[in-house]
Amino acid sequence: MRYATEQIVKAINGGVDRICKMLARQGRAIGTLYELSWMSLPDDEDARKAFEAAATKAKQKMARHVENDEKEFAERLKKVVNS
């Protein structure tokens, strides 16, 4: 029983590690695109403000999606727990 539990924990940790590495690679790629976009802007304050506004709006949209996903997940868990 102990061996099986250790193997399950090892598999879960391996999966978590893999996901974290994938997210780190994705973060670097997104950061590179962000920097390239920023660097290619004309030397104009309006362009920079527009870029920052777009970045803020994208963050807000993503936060809303995460919140909605969390709510849906919480509702599904309540159904499982209460069953």
Contact 13, 20 (CB under 8 A): no
Q: Residue 83: what pLDDT?
A: 67
pLDDT in tens, 31-78: 999 999 999 999 999 999 999 999 999 999 988 888 888 888 888 878
Q: Is the pLDDT of residue 80 over 80?
A: no
Cα separation, 55 vs 44, whole angstroms: 17
Structural domain spans, the chain: 1-40, 44-83
Q: Evaluate whether 54 touches 37 at the Cβ level (below 8 Å).
A: no
Mean pLDDT of 6-22: 92
Q: What is the mean pLDDT of residues 13-36?
A: 93
Higher pLDDT, 83 or 50: 50
Determine which helix (DSSP H) or strand (DSSP E) holds 5, and give its type and residue range.
helix 2-39
The CA distance from 39 to 28, in Å, is 16
Q: pTM of the entire structure? A: 0.59
